[in-house]
Amino acid sequence: MSKIYDLIVLGAGPAGENVADVAHQSGLSCAVVERHLVGGECSYYACVPSKALLRAGAALRAAQRVDGAKQAVTAGVDVVGVLRRRDYMTSGGTDGGQVDWLKGAGIDLFRGIGRLQGKKRVEVQALDGSTTVLEARHAVCVSTGTTTSTPPIPGLADVGYWTNREATSTEKIPDSLLILGGGVVACEMATAYVSFGCKVTMLVRGKKVLERMEDFAGEMVLKSLLELGVDVRFGVETTRAERQGEKVVLHTTLGSLSAQELLLATGRAPATVDIGLPSIGLPSGKYLQVDDTLLVSAATNEGDAWLYSVGDANGRALLTHMGKYQGRAAGGVIAARALGVEVSTAAWGQFVATADHAAVPQVVFTDPEVAAVGLTVEEARKRGHRVRVVDYPLGSVSGAYLLSDGYTGQARMVVDEERQVLLGATLVGQDVAELIHAATVAIVGEVKLERLWHVVPSFPTVSEVWLRLLEAYGRPGVKAT
Ligand SMILES: Cc1cc2nc3c(=O)[nH]c(=O)nc-3n(C[C@H](O)[C@H](O)[C@H](O)COP(=O)(O)OP(=O)(O)OC[C@H]3O[C@@H](n4cnc5c(N)ncnc54)[C@H](O)[C@@H]3O)c2cc1C
Ligand SMILES: NC(=O)c1ccc[n+]([C@@H]2O[C@H](COP(=O)([O-])OP(=O)(O)OC[C@H]3O[C@@H](n4cnc5c(N)ncnc54)[C@H](O)[C@@H]3O)[C@@H](O)[C@H]2O)c1
């Protein structure tokens, strides 16, 4: 006997939870299938614990940059306290709170591995091996996330490497750590672990860190990593890995390097390998391509829109807030189509994830932080925009030099010269994370520069940088004839 629901959600990470919540609030019955923890990677092994591991170091360094406060904080980070706070933030790796939330919301949870078994049918294999078949009246949404992408390095499988899971949930800080990769996970984890007194070496294949961001962001983060004591090697290819007793040894084009642990921070791969996609004619292990209503672009949806994908699994933007945004849109559109409500697919409407293309914000919690939204200069030019780039040193803003002695930072806005609106913004500096939402509003709202002059930042805050950037861009003035 199968159980029937309007909507079946595969994967209870932040994206899946939001689809179920919105669809259920619109009147659909929902089942959520989760093989591990309700809350997903984000809550237990990614965003939340990683930011908890970073926070003490950031707070300490911020205090050390203020005369009068620095005298009071002469010791380093207390690792026991950091891990205790991390455990509190992740509920000790238990998901009781989120399970209660699902129950309270009236959404049924099925624990186990979910696999599609043809159209609108999902088999759930529980830990004890028993199976339950679920059938969807209207839709199935795949929100199974991603896992660490494992490079094909001979010997790697046998060394017992760390992924983000071990790096964020460990109870013991190793004496030394090799990190493979130069992206966001690598930079954040290097910043956290070096603050714990661990000897950190980053092995970067290319020439830069944070290569998808504006160049100056990677350069400033690199400078700080080096100052914090991280050993960063560029242009490294790893040819073989082996474990020698307590140490992992990597044989590389720059010679052999060893450490107590090795962290793979080499990007993500879609968790769509063992979810039954071939049963509906789709390949395993690929990101699910979707349209702006999060409907999977595949023949199986022709004439009967039933398969959706949100969050990391569709590869659009590997970020929690973007997955949740997609989840809200998909939950709404699934309910609307099920209830026969007309669905407008016009940009910026209720049922589409338009921001995925032009207004994705991200904060990298290194020290300095990097906060960016929209297009980089390079992306904007590639898309054919005629742009003007305006840069401003953040340390020259009154709010910044009051915040921190010797504040260094940089801000950039990328302006669409045709439409006189912002296309992108990047801020690098201490405590810039909260500033990026203002730029996100300006980009999504397509606010003209002439109107932004009326958005008055409070004095003395770091937000005054927006005024400085406008001044640097220039305002048509009145001249005596
Ligand atoms: C170290 C690290 C730090 C990060 N920090 C940030 C950050 O600060 N901010 C940010 O925005 N993003 C961050 N991210 C990215 C963020 O974690 C992801 O974008 C987010 O978790 C994606 O959410 P999701 O719901 O799509 O997938 P996930 O959170 O991966 O959830 C997917 C869920 O599906 C379940 N599942 C998978 N397959 C099946 C199956 N067959 N049956 C049943 N259940 C299944 C999984 O168990 C999991 O619970 C970070 C990532 C990493 C690795
Ligand atoms: N604060 C945040 O918002 C945050 C934090 C962490 C992660 N994330 C998200 O998680 C995703 C994954 O992060 P990530 O850092 O794993 O991926 P990434 O794509 O940012 O970086 C991957 C890095 O690994 C390198 N690499 C790939 N294959 C390699 C190999 N064989 N050998 C050596 N280096 C190799 C790449 O050159 C790159 O430097 C990101 O897309 C990011 O959006 C977000």
pLDDT tens across 106-135, in order?
999 999 999 999 999 999 999 999 999 999
149 exposed, middle or buried (CB, 10 Å; 0-12, 13-18, 19+)?
middle
Q: How far is the CA of 183 from the centre of ligand 2 (A)?
A: 4
> Does residue 425 sit in helix, strand or coil?
strand
Q: What separation in Å is there between the alpha carbon of 264 and the centre of ligand 2? A: 9
Residues 6+ apart with CB under 8 A from 230: 190, 191, 194, 200, 201, 202
Q: What is the mean predicted confidence (pLDDT) over 383-412?
A: 97
**Nearest ligand, CA 371:** 2
CA distance 352 to 444: 14
Per-residue pLDDT for 393 more than 90? yes
**What per-residue confidence (pLDDT) applies to 477?**
78
The pair of structure tokens assigned to 408 is 């260094």
Confidence category of residue 92, pLDDT binned at 50, 70, 90: very high
Q: What per-residue confidence (pLDDT) applies to 235?
A: 97
**Average pLDDT value for residue range 90-117:** 97
Q: Band the pLDDT of 481: cuts 50, 70, 90.
A: confident
Ligand 1 centroid to residue 69 C-alpha, Å:
38
Q: Which of 471, 414, 418 is nearest to 439 (CA)?
A: 414
Q: Are 425 and 452 in contact (CB under 8 A)?
A: no
Q: DSSP readout, 353-399? A: -THHHH--EEEE-SSSEEEEEE--HHHHHHTT--EEEEEEEGGGSHH
What ipTM does the predicted assembly reach?
A: 0.98
Burial class (CB in 10 A: 0-12, 13-18, 19+), 308: buried
Can you tell me the mean pLDDT for 342-354? 96
Q: Roughly what angle, to the nearest 10 degrees, separates helices 14-25 and 96-105?
A: 20
Cα 104 to Cα 28, 97, 136, 151: the distances in Å are: 15, 10, 22, 42
Ligand with minimal distance to 273 CA: 1
Please, which pLDDT band fits residue 476 given cuts at 50, 70 and 90?
confident
Please tell me if the domain spanning 3-37+94-147+269-356 has the same topology as the one spanning 368-472: no
Average pLDDT over residues 89-108: 96
Q: Which amino acid is at 372?
A: A
Q: At 111, which amino acid appears?
A: R
Report the separation in Å between the CA atom of 224 and the middle of ligand 2, taken as the mean of its atom positions: 19
3-class DSSP string for 109-152: EEECEEEECCCCEEEEECCCCCEEEEEEEEEEEECCCEEECCCC
286-297 pLDDT per residue, tens: 999 999 999 999
Mutation test of ligand 2: which of 266, 268, 319, 373 has the most ligand atoms closer than 8 Å to its C-beta?
266
pLDDT at residue 478 tops 90: no
Q: Which ligand is nearest to the CA of 113?
A: 1
Among 9, 47, 169, name the best residue to mutate to test ligand 1's pocket (greatest count of ligand atoms within 8 A of Cβ): 47
Half-sphere exposure of 85 (CA within 13 A, CB side): 15
Residue 155 has a pLDDT of 98
**pLDDT for position 283:** 97
pLDDT of residue 269: 98
Mean per-residue pLDDT over the chain, rounded: 97
What mean pLDDT comes out for the span 28-41? 98
Residues lining ligand 1, Cβ inside 6 A? 10-16, 33-37, 40-42, 46-47, 50-51, 113-114, 143-146, 164, 168, 185, 271, 275, 311-313, 318-321, 323
Contact 54, 191 (CB under 8 A): yes
Q: Is the pLDDT of residue 1 over 90?
A: no
Q: How many CB atoms lie within 10 A of CB 410?
A: 22
187 is in an annotated binding site: yes
CATH architecture for segment(s) 156-266: 3-Layer(bba) Sandwich (3.50)
- Which band of pLDDT confidence, cut at 50, 70 and 90, is reported for residue 479? confident
Buried b (16+ CB within 10 A) or exposed e, 58-80: bebbbebeeeeeeeeeeeebebe
The CATH classification of domain 368-472, taken from the options 3.30.70.590, 3.90.25.10, 3.30.390.30, 1.10.1740.10: 3.30.390.30
8 Å CB contact between 367 and 224: yes
**Residue ranges of domains in the chain:** 3-37+94-147+269-356, 156-266, 368-472
Nearest to 225 by CA among 235, 237, 214, 210: 210
Distance CA 260, CA 258 (A): 7
Q: Any idea which fold 3-37+94-147+269-356 has?
A: FAD/NAD(P)-binding domain (3.50.50)
pLDDT value, residue 469: 98
Kindly state the average pLDDT of the residues 223-239. Answer: 98
Question: Given a cut of 80, is residue 175 above it in pLDDT?
Answer: yes
Kindly report the pTM of this predicted structure.
Answer: 0.98
